[in-house]
Amino acid sequence: MSVATQSELSEFHQFMGTRLKSPGPNLTPEEILEEWRLLRGDIAGSKRDRLAVQAALLDMQQGDPGVDFDVHLRELKQRFKP
C-alpha cells in the first residue's frame, strides 16, 4: 500500500471515529463515507455545498442537535402552502 493511500486511510478512519462519536443524527458508515467524499471534493458538489456541510458538522460538534427532518418538512410545507 502506498504511503499516500495509507495516509488517506488513516485520515478517513479518524474522521469516521469522530463522526460516530459526535452528537446528532446517527449516520450509517455509508452516509459518513458520502460526507467524507463531499468534504474532500471527491464527488460532485459545489464549494458552497462543501462549506455548508463543514459548517453543519462544526455546529453538531458544538452540541447543536439540528432540526428533525419531519419537523423541518412540516415547517416548509406550512411556509409555502398555496
pTM, 2 dp: 0.49
Here the cell at position 80 is 409555502
Here the cell at position 21 is 462519536
Sign of CA pseudo-dihedral 10, 42, 40, 62: negative
- Predicted confidence at residue 44, as pLDDT, reads 65
Q: What's the CA gap between 16 and 73, in Å, rounded?
A: 28
Q: What's the CA gap between 12 and 37, in Å, rounded?
A: 10
- Predicted confidence at residue 68, as pLDDT, reads 84
Quick: pLDDT tens for 22-72: 777 778 888 888 888 888 877 666 778 878 888 888 888 888 888 888 888
Where in the sequence is the domain holding 21, given as residue range(s)? Answer: 3-79
Here the cell at position 16 is 469516521
Number of domain units in the chain = 1
